[in-house]
Amino acid sequence: MDGQSALNRSKPIPVAASERGAAPIGKRARRWRFGLQVKLILPYLLLTLALALVAIFIITQLVSGSARLGFNGQLQAVQDSASDGLARIERSQLESLRLLAFTQGLPEAMASGSAERVADLVTPLALNAGLPVVTLIDTTGRELVTLTLTAGGAEYARSGGADLSQVAIVRRVLAGEQDARGDKFVGILAVQSRRFLFTSAPISDGTGAHLGVVMLGQDLSQVLRDVARVSRADVLVALDSSGRALDAVLPPGASDVTPLEVEPDVAQGLLKAPTVAESREVNLGGSPYAVLTVPLNLRDEPAALLGVGLNASSLRRQEEELRLLLSGLFGVGLLAVLGVGYGIYRSIVDPVDRLRTLADAVAEGDLNQRLTLPQDDEISDLALAFSEMTERLAERTHEAERLHGETAERARQLEDSNQRLRQAQQQLVQSEKLASIGQLTAGIVHDVKNPLAVIKGIAELVQIEDPGLSAFAREQIGLIRDNASHANAIVSDLLMFARQSTPKWQHQDLRETVQAALRLTEYLMRQAGVRSIADLPDVPVMTVYDSRQIEQVLINLIQNAVQAMSSGGALTIALNVMGQHALLTVADTGVGIGPEQIGRVFDPFYTTKSEGEGTGLGLSVTYGIISQHGGEIWASSERDRGTTFSIRLPIREQAPEQPV
């Protein structure tokens, strides 16, 4: 059996080779080619090198990132120290301000308007505290007297008479405003060619009535120098709200503050989102500096921007040293890995070379060749079944490629069919949407806008063509024209709703919108004998909403209520605040809606009115507007007792970022 098997395996090889006219395998092996040695060692070498480079890059980035994170932490600590220094200066200035504001006799002097008397009272205290600038202002915003410390620091120069009523920190005090901490305000003001950090406070009498304003000023340059010294910052700059530098403490050799400035939109973004702050690198005097720009909060309000910087030369040097060290370590590791790989390569290639020699001999018809390998592994098994395995493998590979090609082609055809099906489905859905919207808008334009235009045109024509109309008639015709215009606007809003219009968000009082809706429907209610009752709170109910759309909602509900009270009745509109929501209710004493109908009142084209009296679109549009505002609307009713529509809207300070 063994001899017969060897004979069967040896016969096809030389015959096939001679039939194809190919060179003998031994000769083919002697020509140059990419041998097994190259195929084993080259991918291993390239893969090892690639992995080493990737590892060097990743670890270097991680270590560099760690170093930069530590540097950023140091920069953040310096920024925190600078902020604390400014807070201490602010507290010191407030203490001096309280001392001056409660100076004995100062309220009487301010009430008399005597600048000389005010200056005599304030000068000793200001000189004793070493205050650079002190300004006293009367209740009209006129500067009574300003005391400016001279260069020697031993006396004050006096000035006065300027109109300071438009200065923000003066105007807010005179208006009786208060910030998050009280009735004192802080700001940066320019005095001649210098900028000062001013703090203002009211001067009051025993009854609490304001008699004027007192302001204390610190030279901004001196403030920044003091803060830089305490916080150990290399760079310190104050920027205004447009990103321009007001004053700065620069390192030796640097004089240009332009690199420290930021774009106006960046400055506004930092003032609005103070938690988003990243350091940036600038060049000052030929050296790199990392600068962190954050809001300068004065009395918990961002009055300007503060840039704090540290020299980044040491960080760069540290990163470069880390890169060199890691590159050296990975270079040594790469050589070690290559050595181990070469040993593995030789342990595989030597047996394969001996197997190739055996295969060459068998291909030439030498069936007596035997190969004895020292190891007992897959290579020795390969030597026993080499010819049979390669033949069967070629057949199965060809069959697998054929099946794979057929499968890939069928998968491609199936994907093409699915893609066409999805496109057809999307087109069908879009066509249905467009058809619905087209039907809605066409009905509105044909059934509502044209009659409204005729009503408005006739009203205007009567006013123009009939000079003998009485004043009352002209007023009523004008009211007809105005309500026709308003109804036309409501129809236009409905068209906008069909096109998914976006509300125009504004922060305003809900009470004003309710009152406007009542004014616009006053004539309608009077003609129907309906008495209106407005239950509104005494204080404003401020939130963000589209007043025109909410007014449209209220007018629609009022009109429905009036039509439900054909014999007259009472209409009550109430507004209440419940937690973080505003609750609007519109209640009538009309015929009511049955329980079998109440669940469908917001469906498009569904109406409880008689044929011809309504299209069934009003409450559908109303529901859409309230949904766009993030609110809820529901109805409750009893037969012959009346209907109540309730609207709940969220109370917000800002418009939502995404559509509701």
CA distances from 409 to 40, 396, 418 (A): 35, 20, 14
**Residue type, position 440, single letter:** L
| Whether pLDDT at 106 is above 70 | yes
| Whether pLDDT at 466 is above 90 | no
Q: Which of 211, 191, 227, 205 is nearest to 92 (CA)?
A: 227
CATH 3.30.450.20 holds for 71-314: yes
CATH 1.10.8.10 holds for 502-650: no
Bigger pLDDT: 123 vs 5 = 123
Lowest pLDDT segment from 56-65, 335-344, 565-574? 56-65
- Residue 66 to residue 325: CA distance in whole angstroms: 16
Span 583-603, average pLDDT = 85
Q: What pLDDT does 543 receive?
A: 94
**Which residues, in sequence order, are CB contacts of 199 under 8 Å at separation 6+?**
90, 93, 94, 97, 169, 184, 185, 186, 215, 216
Bigger pLDDT: 296 vs 161 = 161
Q: What pLDDT does 519 receive?
A: 92
Span 626-639, average pLDDT = 88
Q: Please state the pTM of the whole predicted model.
A: 0.39
Span 388-395, average pLDDT = 59
| Whether pLDDT at 430 is above 80 | no
Quick one: 6 exposed, middle or buried, by C-beta within 10 A (0-12, 13-18, 19+)? middle
Lowest pLDDT segment from 58-62, 191-195, 303-307, 517-521? 58-62
Which percentage of the chain shows pLDDT scores above 90?
11
What does the pLDDT look like over 278-317, one tens digit per residue? 678 888 878 888 888 888 777 777 778 888 877 777 666 7
Tokens for 216, please give them. 């204390």
Residues in the chain: 660
- Residue 93 to residue 98: CA distance in whole angstroms: 9
Q: What pLDDT does 595 receive?
A: 82
Q: What pLDDT does 570 receive?
A: 92
Bigger pLDDT: 87 vs 492 = 87
- Residue 75 to residue 233: CA distance in whole angstroms: 8
Span 474-483, average pLDDT = 85
Contact yes or no for 239/307 (Cβ under 8 A): yes
What does the pLDDT look like over 596-615, one tens digit per residue? 888 777 776 657 665 545 55
Contact yes or no for 212/137 (Cβ under 8 A): yes
Please provide the average confidence, as pLDDT, over all residues in the chain: 76
- Residue 375 to residue 81: CA distance in whole angstroms: 72
Bigger pLDDT: 407 vs 226 = 407
- Residue 216 to residue 122: CA distance in whole angstroms: 12
- Residue 318 to residue 66: CA distance in whole angstroms: 11
Contact yes or no for 498/437 (Cβ under 8 A): yes
Span 616-637, average pLDDT = 83
> CA angle at residue 321 from 315 to 325, to 5 degrees?
145
Q: What pLDDT does 617 receive?
A: 65
Local structure of 398: helix, strand or coil = helix
Q: What pLDDT does 209 receive?
A: 81
What are the strands, taking DSSP E only, across 269-360? 279-284, 287-298, 301-311
